[in-house]
Structure 1
Amino acid sequence: MNHFQYRDKVLFAEGVAVPEIAAAVGTPFYLYSAATLRRHFSAFDQAFAGIAHQTCFAVKSCSNIAILRLFAQLGGGADIVSGGELYRALKAGIEPGKIVYSGVGKTEAEIDQALAAEILMFNLESSQELAVVQERAAALGKRARISFRVNPDVDPQTHAYISTGLAKNKFGIPIAEALAVYRQARQLSHVEIVGVSCHIGSQLTQVSPFIDTVAKLKDFLARLAAEGIAIRYLDIGGGLGIRYAQESPPEPAAYGAAIRQALGEMACTLILEPGRVIVGNAGILVTKVLFTKTGQKKFIVVDAGMNDLARPSLYDAHHEIVPVVRGEVAAEVADLVGPICETGDFLARGRELPAAGAGDLLAVLSAGAYGFTMSSNYNSRPRVAEVLVNGDQFHQIRRRETYEDLVRGETIPDFLV
């Protein structure tokens, strides 16, 4: 459920009419519903009520500090993959002890930053990374809490670009080889083994890959226990999908029940890293029609492009497109395209779309996850505004960039003056 609904043919976000926001901030812009964010976070977190767990929101999916603060107020932590995401999480007020640091390429500076913050744990991905963390922790007089991300070679049955749990993917240590690095870590002076981590992919619409993964993790935990290596945290990642079109992913309650049954009696705390399932349907992208073109096919040209929402061009992803103000004209088959100088610049192709003319507003649904966070300045386009609705009020939580922002940090050297 989300809080984007029509009232008298006008799309509202909670208690605010979307055209009112468009008039105030201009287009395009991302629009989020605080009520939906709270509802989705609570629904996911409550699916694991009664067992020791920590919900660590995947910051990469939607990183605005206002949204991170909202989750922090609900007791949420953060799953981060960069020093910038750590900075955002701390700025938003997320407790360091609720932050887990994933990712295959942490730099020394980023490792130092996380050690200084005293985060919950590093999810390490190689023995070389382990050596660097040991070295940096020793230099700073710290003791790094670590887990290793194991790769279970489970097919998540999702898009190849967001599959992370197969042996051919770059992520994690093959589960058959992971025991050796745990033995290695046990000998080191400035690391403390606290967990095991695993994440197999994103936009999973079936429970079975998760269950297969849990089975392999339980077996691996038993092997660690036989070695006398105690594990306090089991991080099973995220990846639960949402409905963009015809998908039928399990509800968080069903997902939680299946995971709990598969885990059985566990002595460790469960770490969960949801992202898309919480924010995906809590956000939309609002765009304005600039022109229409008719030739061999119909094109609707809007002011949002692939630099604003990369998913359709990158993954051929489907997003429902709806009018902000419903008209009486029937839908028409068309391509919804943006102003970017690329043939790959589209938001929808060959689809039945709302009949629209210049000046009309359209809403691209299910855009809350991997929308703004993947946006860019390609074609020297300022990144768009982000707006958060809370009841009958809206707040611009990120202003639209200006042309001055585009060149900030750039200089013309003296020899060109």
Structure 2
Amino acid sequence: MFDRKQLVNAISQQETPVYYYDLSLMQQTLKTAKRAADVHSFHVHYALKANFNERILKLIRDAGIGADCVSGNEVRKAIEIGFHPSDIVFAGVGKSDREIRDALSHDIFAFNVESIQELKVINTLAAAQGVKARVALRINPNVDAQTHHYITTGLDENKFGIAHWQLGDAVETLSQSEHLELIGIHFHIGSQITDLNVFKSLCVKVNELNNWFDERGFRLRVLNVGGGLGVDYHEPDAHPIPDFSAYFSVFADFLERKPGQEVHFELGRALVSQCGSLISRVLYVKHGLKKNFLILDAGMTELMRPALYQAYHQIEKLDTGEGTGHDAELQRYDVVGPICESSDCFGKEVLLPSCERGDLIAIRTAGAYGEVMASRYNLRDEIRYLYSSAPVDVSAD
């Protein structure tokens, strides 16, 4: 549960904005996810793109979860933190030659390959190093994830993956590539998926393609179904941990594994979102004829999602004294930041207790795609962090 009293006490004398991470909730989430996956002998990799804060990564490593990377620097970071190369997969539609060479030198578990041309490039680079690269073909299943159009990745018009009609050419390329070993097929249809029926549709497509490869003599070792499980942005305290058991049960019930096949997942948001909040102070309150504005010291430079996706985050006033609780008079505010852009807005017509300069504001469910997307635009300060582990630990990079 979000401990407001502890947070207010810890941050009262600290500069803001600051990212607050509840490491206790983080560990509980990881334990719950790992236990639910282990019931079905599923393998879980964490998508570093969601959050690569080192304290978070070390907890994930210690939980026995692998690493899903989408850049060469993420591969390097995973190895630096202590993830074993055999637990690292490297995806991404635009891997550079340097990134591929570096990953080959570490002998990572697999490359999730997104085009036929990429297969040829990896084969050439692996040959030059005298090694063999393990690859999984990322296939675009044309499954509608029913999520925001910026974060859907599995439709025909998306840039990701290999299309169905290209599979024949992909198989032909593999047969001619002595330095590639096909170990599996890979899918990722999008992010923030809350309707589990979408994953049932994915299973149908995976089963069809698994059989397609089997009929052509390819006995696949891995079925990598990606991630995408959503979280509750509207009621984070009601659902601090996603229902991992229900999520994994969909694949256990509807995926048709062949003997010896492993099922791999790449979860990001679901593992880290609820453990993080962006804490900010009110700089100014502006009262207009039709609008009231709360101007915070945090902006789109600290949390890009509302400006980029029009994403919703629950916004709360943290109680700092009497008269600020649930019985306080409520007002509507447009909650905005200090950045010189009109899109620098966290929420419109947000219902909050009456606010004044210096009040603390929490923007919830910010553990994923928050800190990692931050920028120095407007020459902003480096991000600060607050961790809930005892003793309370504040640091800035």
Q: TM-score, normalised by structure 2?
A: 0.93
Matches of 1:142 and 1:308, distance apart in 2: 42
Q: Give per-residue Cα distances to partners, 1:353-388, cap 9 Å, x unaligned.
A: 232111111111101110001111111112311232
TM-fit CA distance, 1:348: 1.1
Q: Give per-residue Cα distances to partners, 1:26-74, cap 9 Å, x unaligned.
A: 1101111111111112222222224332210010001112211111111
Question: Secondary structure of the residue that 2:34 maps to in structure 1?
Answer: helix
Matches of 2:257 and 2:223, distance apart in 1: 13
Q: What number of residue pairs does the alignment pair up?
A: 387
Does structure 1 conserve the Cα–Cα contact (< 8 Å) formed by 2:37 and 2:44?
A: no
Amino acid at match of 2:357: A
Matches of 1:246 and 1:161, distance apart in 2: 23
Pick aligned residue for 1:309 from 285, 303, 311? 303
Pick aligned residue for 2:274 from 281, 284, 302? 281
Consecutive unaligned residues in structure 1, runs of 5 or more: 6-10, 401-417
Which structure 2 residues correspond to residues 240-259 of structure 1 after superposition, within 5 A?
Answer: 240-245=229-234, 251-259=243-251
User: Runs of 4+ in structure 1 displaced over 6 angstroms?
Assistant: 246-250
Pick aligned residue for 1:299 from 293, 315, 335? 293
Asked if residue 182 in structure 1 is aligned to residue 179 in structure 2, the reply is no
Asked if residue 399 in structure 1 is aligned to residue 396 in structure 2, the reply is yes
- Give the RMSD, CA atoms, in angstroms: 1.7
Equivalent in the alignment of 2:193: 204
Does structure 1 conserve the Cα–Cα contact (< 8 Å) formed by 2:45 and 2:265?
A: yes
Equivalent in the alignment of 2:365: 366
TM-fit CA distance, 1:125: 0.4
Amino acid at match of 1:278: L
1:138–1:354 CA distance, 2 compared to 1 (3 A): farther
Amino acid at match of 1:347: F
Consecutive unaligned residues in structure 2, runs of 5 or more: none
Q: Give per-residue Cα distances to partners, 1:312-354, cap 9 Å, x unaligned.
A: 1111111111122251432210111110001111111112123
Does structure 2 conserve the Cα–Cα contact (< 8 Å) formed by 1:302 and 1:336?
A: yes
TM-fit CA distance, 1:290: 0.6
Does structure 2 conserve the Cα–Cα contact (< 8 Å) formed by 1:186 and 1:193?
A: no
TM-fit CA distance, 1:263: 1.1
Amino acid at match of 1:251: D
Which structure 2 residues correspond to residues 115-134 of structure 1 after superposition, within 5 A?
Answer: 115-134=104-123
Question: Secondary structure of the residue that 1:135 maps to in structure 2?
Answer: helix
Matches of 2:292 and 2:147, distance apart in 1: 31
Amino acid at match of 1:345: D
Pick aligned residue for 1:217 from 203, 206, 216? 206
Does structure 2 conserve the Cα–Cα contact (< 8 Å) formed by 1:375 and 1:383?
A: no
Does structure 2 conserve the Cα–Cα contact (< 8 Å) formed by 1:68 and 1:94?
A: no
Matches of 2:364 and 2:126, distance apart in 1: 45
TM-fit CA distance, 1:23: 4.1
Asked if residue 58 in structure 1 is aligned to residue 47 in structure 2, the reply is yes
Equivalent in the alignment of 2:216: 227
Equivalent in the alignment of 2:151: 162
Question: 354-363 or 238-247: which moved more?
Answer: 238-247
Question: Secondary structure of the residue that 1:356 maps to in structure 2?
Answer: coil
Equivalent in the alignment of 1:100: 89
Amino acid at match of 1:375: A
Question: Secondary structure of the residue that 1:84 maps to in structure 2?
Answer: helix
Asked if residue 272 in structure 1 is aligned to residue 265 in structure 2, the reply is yes
1:354–1:92 CA distance, 2 compared to 1 (3 A): farther
TM-fit CA distance, 1:209: 1.4
Matches of 1:369 and 1:250, distance apart in 2: 14
